[in-house]
Structure 1
Amino acid sequence: MKIEQFEDQGLAHYSYAVLSECAREIVLIDPARDPQPYYDFAQAHGAAIVAVLETHPHADFVSSHLEIAQRTGAVIRVSKLLGAGYPHAAFDDGDSFTVGQLTFRALNTPGHSPDSVSAVLSRAGQDVAVFTGDTLLLGDVGRPDLRENAGNLTARREELARQLYHSTRAKLLTLADDVLVYPAHGAGSLCSRTTNTAHSSTIGAEKIGNPALRPLSEQAFVQELLADQPFIPKYFGYDVELNKAGAPAYGPSVRQVPRLAPDAALETGVLVVDARPEAEFKNGHVAGALNIQAGGKFETWLGSIIGPEEDFYLLAADEATLTALVQKAAKIGYETRIKGARVGSPSTEAALPTLDVAAFRQHPEQYTIVDIRNASEVKHEPIFAGALNIPLPELRERAPEIPTTKPVVVHCAGGYRSAAGSSVVAPALPGTPVFDLGEAVKSFQPAGR
């Protein structure tokens, strides 16, 4: 037996290939949008992919389960509660299947979603590992507030939090302490608050070290779990529905994105996502363009600022970056919204002014300061007293709330988000100077210190 973990660092996503070496057969668990790494793994081991197991319809990325099944003939196994729109076999409490000497047993573990399942892997009757999806993570549990308006089944966050309490304690924690825990996400995912950077754990280690699993009453668990959850990106509900239906094949869908010639005009009224470095963007860009820079968590911020129903143009500094960004957009199913992709900006008519940081430091009261960090970040570490907090994912809708009686300074925690934020605010407040504090924010002491 061999368990191979695949990591997508941008989305903090883990997927798995479980190889039965005697049967030369593979079971995939929660595969990412690009199926090629799994095909490569199968070829390298002379094995066939015979099953694809989805622990739930994912909100933060698009899975390739349907594409893989159509190419390889593998059986997709999901909970019947998911209401899948593609051929599949039910995988719920009491269900199991065998590959070689390996057996996969279903546990319904609702809480992160109503249709979540965990898969217990056993060999020769001995439990070896459990693939927990987003139910049990390393040092945390999945968030319960993503399925109030999406999916075949919906539930209020309080109800899901209660289900999660019982799924962890009555099901997962009854497994032996030496059973390995393989989650679908690690630190940095918006599906939880975990900061644990490990790639796997054991049931015993989680019992000891996971704060969400310490002795708590159900009500205390619910209250603690619902407090200070991260924001919900705009694309999450869209991805749940796309995964429920099954996404189009990755390669053909990426290749259909139109590539624009340098002299091609951009259609008026269509959003422009300019992914060039912020210094280039500030020197000149298409009026109204949004500066979501390449690198970082581009796909997360793309899907947090722009809704899944909105078309957009995608601009990048060079061809290699442009290709990579189209692929990143495809991870969240946004490649179909790209109206055209091109290198460079067709216009430099708009620009953003440079902030005199020394003058701002001397008299911050002469500016309207907009803090675009998440509310929990501001609560934990306020930087400027009296700053107006509008989180970046809400900024396009709420920019008109910003007073225009003073110049505006936009800041985040390190500069990446404020580049995007200032590009959102500037065209929304014509006639008002809008500045990006950028990385200089790191030189300011938190308020009250």
Structure 2
Amino acid sequence: MIIEQIYDKALAHGSYAIESDGQVALVDPGRNPEPYLKFAEKHHGTIVAVFETHPHADFASSHIEFQKKFDAKIYVNPKVGVSYDYEPMEHEDTVQIGSMTMKALFTPGHSPDHNSYLAIDENGVKKAVFTGDSLFIGDVGRPDLREGAGNIQVSRKELAGMMFDTIHDVFAHLPDDVVVYPAHGAGSLCGKNISDERSSTIGIQKQENWAFQMDDKDRFMESFLEGQPFIPSYFPHSVEINRKGVPPMADSINKIPRLDSSAILEENTTIIDTRKEEIFKKSHLKGAINIQAGENDKFETWLGAMVKPGEPFYLVGKDEAAVTNAMERTAKIGYESYIKGALVASATDEKVSSETTPLDRFKENPEKFTIVDIRNKPEVQAEQFFPSAINIPLPELSERIHEIPTDQPVVVHCAGGYRSAIGSSLLDKKIGDQVKIYDLSDDIQSWK
């Protein structure tokens, strides 16, 4: 049995390919099928099965593509209520993959329809458990994403109670040497304190994971419900598209309109410019929002947070390769069908530039500026740079612009510069004709 973790840094998503006697099973595959096909080719195997732990909120799964193109069977808990052909797996049901056995463990808490999958080798030894969004390294999956989404909609309090039972009645009874392979690592919004480690063992988690340390259910639930991060707009949307299944990634991307310099962009349609902040500020289309798509940038998350499901938008990149990359990354969250057109920045007209922040004047007289801190509330509580700043978290900025005075210049900051590039460009689009908007960017480091 060969297990390989396929990790997407931008989404902090871990998926898995497992080979046994020439048969390959996948667990929670991402939208792009290529890494899994390469694994199968490398190990001279055939992809025969896809195990879905639950309908994911933060990415679009490729399970339907493997079913349609490779006749792979999809295994999922029947409570998910899917719209495609599948093989139901409930608690302790088993499936043979080569000489390996995959055993379903019902592990609700993050969602009410969540399975984990225990891999058992040919000798009957329990080797690894694929925990999806139930058990993370150092944490457990948040309980507040299924209020208003999915086939079964359960309150966060009910899910918190389910997670306590899952930890103590299921995971705590597995052998200590079983390897834990979760669906997410540090940086994912599916948990609040996930470790940088991408795998562990049940024994280590029993010792180090806070969820195993609490024997009082009420105290566990109270701690679990506190301080969860924001929920991007696209999360409920992803739950639904994963229940239905998305089309093959390449086929879907090929349908995106490619625009050139002769194209006239529709007014009042959002423009997402994916170039680096410093390039964007020198020249960009009027009204464009700067969501950078560097290799390790959280482009997918912030695109899904700033653009609502179903909202059409244009996608701009620095060159053809960057545009293609941005389209593929957009497809990872199932948003590619909303792209009105994709174009290279050099092919555009009517460009504007952003003004440089007058740092010396700002340092000498910060009171002559309206300072907008777009970090999340827990970040502000932990460290505040400007006592007079107005705190409006970036996901709430568009709806709360009316709270920002326009009688003096506005300076936007976050913790490092990535979010402030988004926030300042959004404000420039919305109120830039009323007041000057400045981005403090990475100069915020001077105040730390």
Q: Provide TM-score, normalisation by structure 2.
A: 0.97
For the 8 Å contact 2:136–2:194, the answer to whether it is kept is no
Which of the residues 20, 34, 37 maps onto 1:36? 34
Matches within 5 A, 1:172-211: 172-211=171-210
Deviation at 1:323, TM superposition (A): 0.9
The whole-number CA distance in structure 2 between the counterparts of 1:312 and 1:326 is 12
For the 8 Å contact 1:254–1:327, the answer to whether it is kept is yes
The whole-number CA distance in structure 1 between the counterparts of 2:274 and 2:36 is 30
Equivalent in the alignment of 1:238: 237
The whole-number CA distance in structure 1 between the counterparts of 2:167 and 2:417 is 38
For the 8 Å contact 1:110–1:117, the answer to whether it is kept is yes
The whole-number CA distance in structure 2 between the counterparts of 1:229 and 1:96 is 34
Equivalent in the alignment of 1:290: 289
The whole-number CA distance in structure 2 between the counterparts of 1:47 and 1:198 is 29
Which of the residues 372, 375, 378 maps onto 2:374? 372
Equivalent in the alignment of 2:275: 276
Equivalent in the alignment of 1:72: 70
The whole-number CA distance in structure 1 between the counterparts of 2:382 and 2:350 is 39
Deviation at 1:348, TM superposition (A): 4.1
Equivalent in the alignment of 2:425: 423
The whole-number CA distance in structure 2 between the counterparts of 1:237 and 1:432 is 35
For the 8 Å contact 2:214–2:220, the answer to whether it is kept is no
Deviation at 1:195, TM superposition (A): 4.0
Matches within 5 A, 1:200-349: 200-295=199-294, 296-344=297-345, 346-349=348-351
C-alpha change, 1:106 and 1:195, in structure 2 (3 Å) is closer
Which of the residues 390, 396, 409 maps onto 2:392? 390
Tell me which amino acid in the other structure corresponds to 2:55: P
| Mean Cα deviation higher: 425-434 or 6-15 | 425-434
- In structure 2, the gaps of 5 or more residues are none
Equivalent in the alignment of 1:434: 437
Which of the residues 349, 355, 365 maps onto 1:363? 365
Structure 1, residues 220-257: CA drift from partner, whole Å, max 9, x if none? Answer: 11111111111101111111000000011111101111
SS of the residue aligned with 2:24?
Answer: strand
The whole-number CA distance in structure 2 between the counterparts of 1:212 and 1:168 is 7
Which of the residues 55, 60, 83 maps onto 1:62? 60
Deviation at 1:349, TM superposition (A): 4.2
Tell me which amino acid in the other structure corresponds to 2:9: Q
Q: Provide TM-score, normalisation by structure 1.
A: 0.96
| Mean Cα deviation higher: 344-353 or 188-197 | 344-353
Deviation at 1:362, TM superposition (A): 1.4
The whole-number CA distance in structure 1 between the counterparts of 2:199 and 2:223 is 24
For the 8 Å contact 2:192–2:229, the answer to whether it is kept is yes
Tell me which amino acid in the other structure corresponds to 2:444: V
Structure 1, residues 331-375: CA drift from partner, whole Å, max 9, x if none? Answer: 001111111111116234433221111211111111111001111
The whole-number CA distance in structure 1 between the counterparts of 2:283 and 2:435 is 18
Deviation at 1:324, TM superposition (A): 0.7
The whole-number CA distance in structure 2 between the counterparts of 1:278 and 1:18 is 40
The whole-number CA distance in structure 2 between the counterparts of 1:133 and 1:103 is 18
For the 8 Å contact 1:186–1:194, the answer to whether it is kept is no
For the 8 Å contact 1:42–1:48, the answer to whether it is kept is yes
Equivalent in the alignment of 1:14: 14
Matches within 5 A, 1:146-185: 146-185=145-184
Q: Identity over aligned residues, as a percent?
A: 48
| Mean Cα deviation higher: 83-92 or 352-361 | 352-361
Deviation at 1:196, TM superposition (A): 1.4
Which of the residues 93, 108, 111 maps onto 1:110? 108
SS of the residue aligned with 1:77?
Answer: strand
Deviation at 1:15, TM superposition (A): 0.7
Tell me which amino acid in the other structure corresponds to 1:244: R
| Mean Cα deviation higher: 305-314 or 351-360 | 351-360
Tell me which amino acid in the other structure corresponds to 1:242: I
Equivalent in the alignment of 1:122: 120
For the 8 Å contact 2:82–2:244, the answer to whether it is kept is yes
SS of the residue aligned with 2:265?
Answer: coil
Tell me which amino acid in the other structure corresponds to 1:8: D
For the 8 Å contact 1:65–1:76, the answer to whether it is kept is yes
SS of the residue aligned with 2:397?
Answer: helix
Deviation at 1:212, TM superposition (A): 2.4
- In structure 1, the gaps of 5 or more residues are none
The whole-number CA distance in structure 2 between the counterparts of 1:272 and 1:323 is 16
Matches within 5 A, 1:138-153: 138-153=137-152
Which of the residues 82, 99, 110 maps onto 1:84? 82
Matches within 5 A, 1:405-416: 405-416=407-418
Deviation at 1:27, TM superposition (A): 1.0
